[in-house]
Every structure is written in structure tokens, then in C-alpha cells.
Chains A and B, each alone.
Chain A
Amino acid sequence: MAATEGMGITVDGVEKHFGDFEALKGVSVAVPNGSLTALLGPSGSGKSTLLRVIAGLDQPDGGSVRIAGREVTGVTPQKRGVGFVFQHYAAFKHMTVARNVGFGLKIRKRPKEEIAAKVDELLRLVHLQGFAHRYPSELSGGQRQRMALARALAVEPEVLLLDEPFGALDATVRKELRTWLRRLHEDVHVTTIFVTHDQEEAMDVAEQIVVMNDGLIEQTGSPRDLYESPANAFVMGFVGEVNRIGENLVRPHDIEILLEPDGTSQEGQIERVAHLGFEVRVELVLDDGRRLAVQTTRQDAEERELEAGQIVYLRPDRERRFATA
């Protein structure tokens, strides 16, 4: 049993089946109090199921869940003290924004003035003041999701769970909300888990990332840990781009391009030079026909006049080899 001291959420050996499909194969995670954690993984990895098990929306077939030190495995979502935000907002369509946000408080039979004051405060927090009397159908996707967040925060939950909260939004709004979520977390400081399949989003927002694959946890750590010391080939490949050279994996920015051969370098021909702003991506073909990509700066590419068709020599650095790779 994992230590629960100082832990907002402790998941221990959780299993979940859907028919023959094993969604979670014995998952254990500890999320520190007040932290912002990302569950990162490809679709079907079990990350959303894990979040739903924590919320009580799905019942695990084995294992236990503790929230703020309290055993909640058999407890209904109603009594767990969680705030849950759905990918598709789950807005109460027949209620105004104010009534959506105040729903949890109304259920708790709080006095009207208290509800009105709290709703007002939350709408200001999520920048929806002035939208109180609109219906969800009159809001944009980003506004609806902020309303859903305010609604979840209204009941002052022990933990906040967000299931692909920005998944249904377009790229610009997604980036905006990401930054905004991080700031909000600094203000509100509630233990938060959010599910995402976007590694950039996870690295940008989270303090701790839990990488999941195939119903299991591959690695837990800070964004930097995961990037610099991935536990296995899957994590290395999922949190950033990789090239495979023989048995080894190497990041595109860890390959140096030389114009003259040295003892250990490999020969390759530049196929394409793509200018992506500050960064330049050089795509190469090795003599054995394999392709790889190298990241370099614009300045470097210009100084050495790298161009398609050129023969260059590659020296990989910080290569990694994993037992199961």
C-alpha cells in the first residue's frame, strides 16, 4: 500500500474490464496534495477510465481509491467531493450559465444570497461575468468549458478532474485555455488531474505527468524527467520525437551534422530542409535507405548552407538503448 501522507489522491492496484477488454491492469498512482498532474497516453491507454474510476463514474473491478486520505472505493460520485469536467462540457442545456454554476450549491440547499454571491465570484474567476443569463447554446466552446470548470469549482471539491478538457476546442483556444488553467491552479490550488493525449499540453501545464499505455503506467515524473530520462522506449517516443539508429534511440536535436567525416560519423544525404521559424528540420536518408530527422537552429542551417541533395556526416549524441526496445 502506497503512503497516503500528503497525498490528494492515492490509487492502488486498480483494475477495470469492459467485457473482454482490460482497460486498467493494476494501476497505482499517488498525486500530491495541491498538485497539477497530467494523465498522458494514446487513446485506449486507460487514462480516461482511470479518471472516471477516481470520480466514481466507473466502478473498478479491483484495487482501491483514496481521496484526501479517505477511502472512497465504494462511494458514489455524489459523495466523493470531486469536481469533474467533461470533454464535451456536459452543460445543462436548459439552465442559464448562472444556474449551471450554482447547481451544486442549490442541491446542497445553500441560501439564495450565498449562491448568488458565489456564482458571481466564480464567473469573474473564469472571465464569464456578463454571461450569467445566457444559455449554454449561446456560448462558444471555450466559454462553455470555462462555465463547466466554474460549475465544478463551485462545490469546493477536494480534487478537480478534467477529462480531455480542451480536446473539443480549436488549436488557438486550446493554447489560451491551457495557460489560463495553469494560472487558475496557482490561484485555487486544488489537487487537479487532467487527461490528455497531447504531450505538449501535458508538458506545458502539468507539474507531474503520469504516462499510461495499454492499461498500465509506464512512468511518472516531472515533464523534464520524462523528457531527459525516459524509463523506456514508449515514453521516449511519446513525449518527443525520436530517431532510431540501429538499436538506439536518439532525439533529433541530439544529432550533430558535420560537413566532413570524422571517425564515428555516418554518411547521409539531405532530402529536405524545412524552415519552421526559429527551428530548422533537416530530413536525411542514410546509405542503408533509412530516414531520420535532425533539428537545428536557423542560424546554424544558414551558416553552413545546408540544402537538399548535400552529403553530410552525422554524429548522434546521448543515444539511448532500452532493454525491450
Chain B
Amino acid sequence: MRGDRRKRPARPGAPDSAHRVQRYGLRVAAVGYLAALLIVPVAIIFVRTFEDGLGPPIDAITSPEGRHAFWLTLVCVAVAVPLNTIFGVLAALVLVRQKFRGKAIVNTLIDLPFAISPVVIGLSLLLVYGIDGWIGGDLQEAGIKVIFSTPGMILATIFVSLPFVVRETMPVLQEVGNEQEQAASTLGASGWQTFWRITLPSIRWGVTYGVILATARALGEFGAVSVVSGRISGETETLPLFVEKQFANFDLAGAYAAAIVLALIALAVLLSMNLSRRKERSA
């Protein structure tokens, strides 16, 4: 932080050094905590992956199964994130700008995916779309297979990554207020024009954070997807499932390699978030 480096007028005596100890102490604690819990384990994965050279990890992730898992993960993200973005912006607009009965309930429901364990989400999808589920049998007869198939995994991904765009957009929308929109309407803009030219540009950074967080979450989802996938190798296996399977099969090189791919994607996503934050500040 640049702010910390600002020179303060020197104050004589003990309070200053006590202050310094306190400051450094806090920093050491924060960094130490991060290192022990995050940085060291992730770093060890990198080390272990490449300890036998580049061969085994590359083989593992370029195997047909590995490539399919990678592809399927991208499909789930590519469907779930745009849908959740559209839903998220609409829901945020409704929740911030409109008054209606049951608004508090809707607001709470949106957090449900945060609160419920992903495994429970997976099970509930089974209960609805499974063969013996609520509408699963009828869908099956109509030739639509949801569970143990891509649609079910996409549904699970949508479910777990749903709250992010709403939650990131709402406070921004609140802060921006609606005067700019009112000004646009007096200048002759229709509702649609106002949305595209005024509302969306003013909330774009909030939406961007939401999209990035939702993407990271969708990429890494394990529990819910695992339950509805049936884990058919080369068919219904996403990258996180693939990693876990390799690990369970003692194919450690493969597991680590796939884990690294996953970690790199997530890292890229989070970095892009940091960059967009910086860009926002300078904007």
C-alpha cells in the first residue's frame, strides 16, 4: 500500500516504536496466515507436478479424458455465467428500484446458494430432474436427459454461481441512484436507451466483478456437479471431478497437472479482476 509509506512526523519516545511493532505485527500475521493456508499448499502442487519432469503432467492433461474434462468445464461456464449475468442485472434492478411485497424474501433466496452445501444443491436437483424425481421422468420420456448429463451439470453450475452478479451489482446500483436515468428520460431517451446508455455503463464495474467471481466459482464447482454428473469418465467429468478421480486412482502426476490447469485459470480470472479494479479507480 502506498499510503503506508507516507512519512509521518517523528514522535519522540515509546509510543512510536510500540506503534511500529503493532503495525509490523499485523502485517506478519496477515501474510503468515495467507502463506500457511493458501500460498504454501498451492506452491507445493506446482513443485510436485513437475518433480518427474514435464512428461507425465502433459500426458495426463492431453489425454482424451483430460481434454474432454477441460472442454466440459468451459461449456458449463460459458452457459452458466452469461445466464447468471442477465439474471443478476435484472434481479439487482428489480430489488433496488422497485417496491413489492415479498422483496425481502426474494432478496434472501438469492443468497441460498451461498448458504446451502453444494452437495445438498446436487441432491435437490436429483429430486427434481432425476428419473424418479418430480419432473425428471416426464422429461426422460420427452427424450431430454438432465441428470447424468451435461444439462444437469450446467444447472448445478448455474445454481452455485447465481448470487455473485446480483450481490456485486446491487450496491453499485444503489450508490449511482436514479437521477441520471431520470435526466436521460427528460432528454428523450426511452427505457431501453436509458438502460444501455446510462444504467449499464454506470454499473459496469460492479457487473464485471460479479462476472469474474461467478466464473471463478463455476470453474471450480465440485460438490453439486459431482452429485448430478454420475461421473462418467470422458462424458460427464469436469476438471475438478477429473482432478479428484486422478487423485483417488493414485495418478498423482495427472491429478496435480489438472489441478494446476484449474489453478492457473482461476488465477488468471482473479488477476483480471484486480486489473479491472485498478482501471476503475483510474477511470
Contact = CB atoms under 8 A, between A and B. Distances in A.
Interface in A79-98: 79-80, 82-84, 86, 88, 90-94
A90 B182 contact: yes
B166 to A, nearest CB: 22
A55 interface: yes
A152 B186 contact: yes
A205 interface: no
B189 interface: yes
Given A80-B186, A82-B186, A104-B188, A92 B198 contact: yes
A114 to B, nearest CB: 15
Name the prevailing secondary structure of the B interface residues: helix
A83 B186 CA distance: 6
A84 B183 contact: yes
Contact of A93 (B182, B184, B202): B202
B179 interface: yes
A93 B183 CA distance: 12
Contacts of A190: none
- Residue among A76, A91, A92 with max Cβ neighbours from chain B (10 Å): A92
Contacts of A90: 179-180, 182-183
Interface in A19-75: 55-57
Nearest to A148: B183
Contacts of B182: 57, 77, 84, 86, 90
A84 B186 contact: yes
B190 interface: yes
Contacts of B179: 86, 88, 90
B117 interface: no
A13 B149 CA distance: 65
A151 B189 CA distance: 13
B143 to A, nearest CB: 47
Contact of B186 (A57, A88, A93, A108): A57
A140 interface: no
A78 B180 contact: no
B208 to A, nearest CB: 14
A238 interface: no
B111 to A, nearest CB: 29
A92 B182 CA distance: 11
A86 B183 contact: yes
A78 B183 contact: no
B185 interface: yes
Contacts of B183: 84, 86, 90, 92, 148, 151
B202 A104 contact: no
Contact of B185 (A77, A86, A92, A151): A77
A108 B189 CA distance: 8
A55 B180 contact: no
B201 interface: yes
A166 interface: no
A155 B186 CA distance: 10
B180 A104 contact: no
Given A93-B202, A94-B201, A107-B193, A151 B187 contact: yes
A127 B107 CA distance: 47
B188 A55 contact: no
Contacts of A78: 185-186, 188-190
A194 interface: no
A94 B196 CA distance: 12
Nearest to A93: B202
B172 to A, nearest CB: 12
A107 B187 contact: yes
Contacts of B185: 57, 76-78
B189 A107 contact: yes
Interface string B80-109: 000000000000000000000000000000
A56 B186 CA distance: 8
A64 B202 CA distance: 35
Contacts of A103: 184, 187, 189, 197
B283 to A, nearest CB: 8
A84 B182 CA distance: 9
Contacts of A88: 179
Nearest to A104: B187
A262 B138 CA distance: 105
Nearest to B187: A104
Interface in B229-280: none
Interface of A: 55-57, 76-80, 82-84, 86, 88, 90-94, 103-104, 107-108, 148, 151-152, 154-155
7 contacts: A83-B187, A92-B198, A103-B187, A107-B193, A148-B183, A151-B183, A155-B187
Interface of B: 179-180, 182-190, 193, 197-198, 201-202
7 closest A-B pairs by beta carbon, nearest first, are A104-B187, A90-B179, A90-B183, A84-B186, A94-B201, A77-B185, A77-B186
Given A107-B188, A108-B188, A148-B183, 14 more contacts: A55-B186, A57-B182, A57-B185, A76-B185, A77-B185, A78-B185, A78-B188, A78-B189, A83-B187, A90-B183, A92-B180, A92-B183, A92-B184, A103-B187
